[in-house]
Amino acid sequence: MDIDLARAWVQAIAAAVGRHKDHLTQLDSAIGDADHGTNLDRGFTAAAAVVADLTPDTVGAVFTRTGTTLISTIGGASGPLYGGAFRALGQALDVPSAAPQAFAAALAAGLESIQKLGTASPGDKTMIDAYAPAVAAFDERARQGTDFAAAAAAAADAAEEGMRATTPLQARKGRASYLGARSVGHQDPGATSTALIFRALANTAANP
């Protein structure tokens, strides 16, 4: 992970969210506030514009500015959760480039940030259900010595599997938890946007 890849990843996320914002909002309309796609599109569009004009010295600077922008532009819980995760990535990657294992550790710091703020665990039907397996998959591949692109692809696959696995779950955190058993049968929008983020990383790493 270097500065150019970091910037390209943020821009790829913005593009992916823009393409899928209606789907994200549709998912959120079933079990949330029906604004997840709109909010994320606004936030990541703003973040992509900010990093495009940035002249950073480190990978972390890209992610810290991304996180700060998300917090200031996304309403609801998603802004602090995603913004905090990117800020945690930024704090962990105060270097011009990072090897896969260093990036795996940064992803773990992002996960810790989300869990601390959202107090969610795997199985609660939240973004954690996609983020946690993605981190584990990336870390496993990094420890095996595979290259960054292969680790990112494994993370994206794991995130998408985790996303799909939220459908039969009953929500235990967030707005969806108010629905009780009625939340069963709906794919979690936060897990879905998390899967988009990791797929954007895989696609960017495969086509630098």
For the segment 7-55, what is each residue's pLDDT rounded down to a tens digit?
Answer: 999 999 999 999 999 999 998 887 777 788 999 999 999 999 999 999 9
Structure tokens at 190: 């936060």
Average pLDDT over residues 51-72: 96
**How far is it, in rounded angstroms, from Cα 186 to Cα 49?**
33
Average pLDDT over residues 56-71: 97
Residue with more model confidence, 47 or 208:
47
- pLDDT band for 179, please (50, 70, 90 cuts): low
Q: How far is CA 84 from CA 145, 152, 179, in A?
A: 29, 21, 27
Residue 81 has pLDDT above 90, yes or no: yes
The C-alpha torsion from 88 through 79 and 22 to 122, rounded to 10°, is: 60
Structural domains in the chain plus CATH codes: 3-206 (1.25.40.340)
Structure tokens at 63: 């992610």
**How far is it, in rounded angstroms, from Cα 37 to Cα 28?**
8
pLDDT in tens, 104-163: 999 999 999 999 998 888 988 899 999 999 999 999 999 999 999 999 999 999 999 999
Tell me the pTM: 0.94
Residue 178 has pLDDT above 60, yes or no: no
Q: What is the pLDDT of residue 175?
A: 67
